[in-house]
Amino acid sequence: MTTPPPGDSVVLAAARVVTDAGVLAPGWVRVEEGLIAGVGEGTAPRAATGADAVDLGDATLAPGFVDLHQHGGGGAAYTDGPDAARTAIAAHRRCGTTSMVASLVADTVDRLEAQVRALAPLVETGDLLGVHLEGPWLSPAHRGAHDPARLIAPTADDVRRLLAAAPGTVRMATIAPELDGALDAVAALSAAGVLAAVGHTDATLDQGRAAVAAGARVGTHLFNAERPLHHREPGVILALLEAPEVVVELIADGVHVHPAMVRHAAASAAGGFALVTDAMAAAGAPDGAYRLGPLQVEVAGGVARVAGTDTIAGSTLTLDRAVAFAVREAGLAVDTAIRAASTTPADVLGRTDIGRLAPGARADAVVLDAALTVTRVMRAGAWV
């Protein structure tokens, strides 16, 4: 295999190329000046053979992964400022995630405001797609790894304050729709162009439907930290699954959700599903003691839990492993799992320039071998 670094123009040829329309087998992608200039089926064009051609052989060329929900990685957390954020970004890029949203856990409004401002420069440069406020507007009954002392009901003033901390930086916020003022907050977020997500909630079916009607468009880590499905009171999970406007997040790591439920949700989500990591600092780092916001976390055997409890505290997952788990354990088709980790989350964010191998998109790509292991990562036309 020839592997020259991509310059102004390079063609990547692979046994399989995953696109929006289907899998090209074989296929090729032309990269010019950091953008995708062409995609085709069959062998690479004759003009592309030679020094500017990279034959990836029996590999799958996938779009760069897009993670809607992660708290850190590589031993670093997004709550610890820009330098720590860069460490986390680099750790996930090495595993194929070329675009990501930084998630913040519940904290005081003062601290969240400061954290949003600290991350704003990385959003401006495109290193982050935005910030996700996972808290403080969550249910104490389903708080998960969030400090109950930091949980509050949303107010118009707090919503305005956090959005104004660094305009355009907050891209998504998770809300429990049963809280006082929650539906007004969902509507306000939607009106401001911010994704309202439903999660960490004890909402009923009707409350979940009301949140969707108010503008909620994402289900935060479906099944986790929310009222479970029940045959007499279906609860919020069914409201999210049946809404064609809503994309549900799934953490496919074998810890958060059983593979059979991953398969069921993938098949039944009317609005589609996105694979996310919900990764905390220990993703791509050794077991040990970490922090998730204000909480102490212990990681053992790759599973993160709030110290001294059985409560899961995010994950140590990376999106390449989520894709492999969804295929091997949940039985999803390879291209279905790849799109759930790339195109679908990009679409949720309204970004047609990432998460896809299509002309005009940024040249973000992941090379996967037969075992779905990442062997190479390209971002904006350059190998990571």
In the numeric block, which tokens belong to residue 26?
């074989």
For the cut 50, the answer to whether the pLDDT of residue 51 exceeds it is no
46: confidence class by pLDDT, cuts 50, 70, 90: low
Give residue 53's pLDDT. Answer: 84
For the cut 80, the answer to whether the pLDDT of residue 357 exceeds it is yes
Q: Answer yes or no: are the C-beta atoms of 200 and 144 closer than 8 Å.
A: yes
Question: How far is residue 241 CA from its own chain's centroid?
Answer: 18
Give residue 52's pLDDT. Answer: 77
Handedness of CA 217, 220, 221, 225 (dihedral sign): negative
For the cut 60, the answer to whether the pLDDT of residue 50 exceeds it is no
The amino acid at residue 96 is: G
For the cut 60, the answer to whether the pLDDT of residue 7 exceeds it is no
For the cut 70, the answer to whether the pLDDT of residue 10 exceeds it is yes
3-class DSSP state of 253: coil
Give residue 178's pLDDT. Answer: 98
Average pLDDT of span 294-307: 93
Q: Answer yes or no: are the C-beta atoms of 41 and 251 closer than 8 Å.
A: no
* Helix extents (H) in the chain: 82-93, 109-124, 156-164, 182-191, 205-214, 236-242, 259-268, 319-328, 334-340, 343-348
- Tell me how far apart the alpha carbons of residues 55 and 38 are, in angstroms, rounded to a whole number: 16
CB atoms within 10 A of CB 40: 18
Average pLDDT of span 298-319: 94
6: confidence class by pLDDT, cuts 50, 70, 90: very low
Q: Considering only CA atoms, which of 318, 241, 246 is closest in space to residue 276?
A: 318
Average pLDDT of span 366-377: 97
Of the candidate ranges 42-46, 233-237, 263-267, 359-363, the one whose mean pLDDT is the lowest: 42-46
Average pLDDT of span 257-283: 97
278 is catalytic: yes
CATH 2.30.40.10 fits 9-63+355-383, yes or no: yes
For the cut 60, the answer to whether the pLDDT of residue 271 exceeds it is yes
Q: What angle do CA 299, 345, 165 make, to 5 degrees?
A: 75
Q: For 156-175, how does the pLDDT look when each residue is reduced to its tens digit (9 = 90+)?
A: 999 999 999 999 999 999 99
Q: Answer yes or no: are the C-beta atoms of 252 and 224 closer than 8 Å.
A: no
Q: Answer yes or no: are the C-beta atoms of 155 and 192 closer than 8 Å.
A: no
Question: How far is residue 360 CA from its own chain's centroid?
Answer: 22
Average pLDDT of span 327-346: 98
Question: Which is catalytic among the residues 67, 147, 253, 278?
Answer: 278
Superfamily of domain 65-348, CATH level 4: Metal-dependent hydrolases (3.20.20.140)
Give residue 44's pLDDT. Answer: 78
Long-range pairs of 22-30 with CB within 8 A, sequence gap ≥ 24: 22/335, 23/334, 23/335, 27/61, 29/61, 29/357, 29/363, 29/365
Give residue 2's pLDDT. Answer: 36
Domain boundaries, the chain: 9-63+355-383, 65-348
For the cut 90, the answer to whether the pLDDT of residue 126 exceeds it is yes
Q: For 213-252, how does the pLDDT look when each residue is reduced to its tens digit (9 = 90+)?
A: 999 999 999 999 999 999 999 999 999 999 999 999 999 9
